[in-house]
Amino acid sequence: MFFFFFTLEKRTCLTGLKHTHTHTHTHTHTHTHTHRLQCSPNQNVTHNSNLYKKPFLESFEETPLLVAVLTYMGYGILTIFGYLRDFLRHWNIEKCNVAREREEQRDFVPLYQDFENFYTRNLYMRIRDNWNRPICSVPGAKMDLVERVSHDYNWTFEHTGKVVKNVINMGSYNYLGFAENTGACADAAIESTQKYGVGVGSTRCEIGNLDIHVELESLVARFLGVESSMAFGMGFATNSMNIPALTGKGCLILSDELNHASLVLGARLSGSTIRVFKHNNMQSLEKLLRDAIVHGQPRTHRPWKKILIVVEGIYSMEGSLVRLPEVIALKKRYKAYLYLDEAHSIGAMGPNGKGVVDYFGLDPKDVDIMMGTFTKSFGAAGGYIGGKKELIDYLRRHSHSALYATSISPPVAQQIITSMKIIMGEDGTTLGADRLRQLSENTTYFRRKLRDMGFIIYGNDDSPVVPMMLYMPAKIGAFGREMLKRNIGTVVVGFPATPIIESRARFCISAAHTREMLHTVSHPISQVVSKHYSVAQTETFI
């Protein structure tokens, strides 16, 4: 009942969306509540227009009060039933499987935190079927899924032997469509495998440094417009293992509140003092910078050894772009260092596909540490750090990911090289430019389509990451299942990956998507919402 009533209320709120201004979570100091004729009213324009070559437009509508109350009530009801089920399990009245301590370890200190375990068995298990779905094809614009069923409330899954064919893939980070098994990239990777094999079996500092690795790093540096770069075999480790090499005790890290877990982990492992500023809020960041310079380190008040600002290019759960021109202005004013994570933006943003630095028309030399991954726009794996030669030489000697991790796989390196050359136009074709243009057009079309249909979507107008708000926990599972029934694969996200009242569906746009595919996706979205809206009306009047 709460689920259906919420849907009705959400549609009511959306009806008024076209006539009212919205508010931002943390952007209120830098955005105005004006709108242009060609933009929808739920977008905001920055005050610092002198730093931007074009208006910086992002939308973040606050959760309506009634929706927030109903969402909290939904979680409250689930929690009450969770404790009731735990009581029944304790007395062996409820027999379903759960993760629990072994009988012989009942008197041990619990291995898992109580809340995490409670959340997993009583909330996550209800909708677990929406994640970890096995695919059996290339994760391109369309994919094939292995059909599975559960007979024990999502504790285990069985394959039915059937394959769900031609599911439109709206979840993969395949921004430029390089996830493919034919074409120049696939051919080059096959040739590289025949020459080098798949694995290296050693670290770079021993005998795992191949000529293809040197070629890759030289190409990345040229692509970014920096002096030097270094490639790593794992994107997550590129952050978590390199930040500790750059900062330590006596250093201060200023981190955006929405930074990725890899950045958070790296900051914690470094032993540095960490202070968090509100997302994209330059007033919050500047206050922390001023306080850091005025007061210095706690107790001793000595100056910080260094101050490192850590931000992302595109925030993957919000579809938001970093306000990079303002961040660079602040970092220059207060003599701080800047660490930019372009995992989602490299290849996907900018007229040349060179990320948010390219998008804003800035000088890459103004960013001290440029980080990115090859797992998304390049259809490969791993990550990189780019910057001055002194920085890269230092990381080669001090980074745990450089000293102890196996070198990047040769065919993976070749995939990156070939796709990057296509983006740069060095393959002698316009394929790279065509894909960049197609991604931009697809992003604009899909965002406008959802907004015109009345849905609340987050993020920057030019971001290929498109979050659509669902709010209620019950809608997470329902939306994901209903879309799959219509042969559309989506990602649904809830707490703890998002704030507790901001569950959402996240669509990732690709250059490989055709206009017909995106239109096909938008129609079922409307169908799914209308289906539950009709039921909501019936139940409400009853």
Residue-level pLDDT at 261 = 96
Q: Answer yes or no: is pLDDT of 487 > 90.
A: yes
Residue-level pLDDT at 31 = 37
Give ranges for CATH 3.90.1150.10 in the chain: 2-66+430-541
The region of weakest confidence among 69-78, 370-379, 416-425 is 69-78
Cα separation, 534 vs 542, whole angstroms: 13
Give ranges for CATH 3.40.640.10 in the chain: 184-424
The region of weakest confidence among 25-34, 411-420, 456-465, 468-477 is 25-34
Q: Answer yes or no: is pLDDT of 264 > 90.
A: yes
The region of weakest confidence among 31-35, 51-55, 207-211, 525-529 is 31-35
pLDDT, mean of residues 23-37: 35
The region of weakest confidence among 32-46, 58-72, 435-449 is 32-46
Q: Is it true that the peptide bond before 496 is cis, omega within 30 degrees of 0?
A: yes
pLDDT above 90 coverage of the chain, percent: 76
Which tens digit of pLDDT belongs to each residue from 194-207?
999 999 999 999 99
For residue 61, which of 390, 504, 511 has the smallest C-alpha distance? Answer: 504
Residue-level pLDDT at 9 = 36
Domain 2-66+430-541 has CATH 3.40.50.720: no
Residue-level pLDDT at 110 = 78
Residue-level pLDDT at 100 = 75
Q: Answer yes or no: is pLDDT of 539 > 50.
A: no
Residue-level pLDDT at 446 = 98
Residue type present at position 471 = Y
The region of weakest confidence among 22-36, 252-266, 425-439, 451-465 is 22-36
277 and 256 Cβ atoms separated by less than 8 Å: yes
Cα separation, 486 vs 321, whole angstroms: 31
User: Helices 65-90 and 114-122 meet at what angle, rounded to 10?
Assistant: 100
pLDDT, mean of residues 438-458: 96
Q: Which is it for strands 459-460 and 58-59: parallel, antiparallel or unpaired?
A: antiparallel
Instruction: Give the pLDDT band of residue 82 (cuts 50, 70, 90).
Output: very high
Q: Which residue has the higher pLDDT, 232 or 26?
A: 232
Quote the tokens at residue 436.
Answer: 């960049």
Residue-level pLDDT at 111 = 77
Which span out of 12-21, 106-115, 117-126, 225-234 was modeled with the highest average pLDDT? 225-234
- Rounded to 10 degrees, the C-alpha dihedral 99/103/106/112 comes to -20
Q: Which residue has the higher pLDDT, 78 or 537?
A: 78
Which tens digit of pLDDT belongs to each residue from 286-328?
999 999 999 999 999 999 999 999 999 999 999 999 999 999 9
Q: What count of Cα atoms within 13 Å lies in the side-chain half-sphere of residue 317?
A: 17
Instruction: Give the pLDDT band of residue 106 (cuts 50, 70, 90).
Output: confident
Residue type present at position 347 = G
Question: How many residues in total does the chain contain?
Answer: 542
pLDDT, mean of residues 373-390: 98
Cα separation, 8 vs 242, whole angstroms: 48
Q: Which residue has the higher pLDDT, 345 or 496?
A: 345
Q: Which is it for strands 252-256 and 273-277: parallel, antiparallel or unpaired?
A: parallel
Which tens digit of pLDDT belongs to each residue from 165-189?
999 999 999 999 999 999 999 999 9
Residues facing residue 277 across a β-bridge: 256
pLDDT, mean of residues 452-466: 96
Residue-level pLDDT at 102 = 79
Q: Domain 184-424 - what CATH class?
A: alpha beta
- Mean of per-residue pLDDT scores for the chain: 89
The CB density around residue 142, as the number of other CB atoms within 10 Å, is 17
Which tens digit of pLDDT belongs to each residue from 127-147?
999 999 999 999 999 999 999
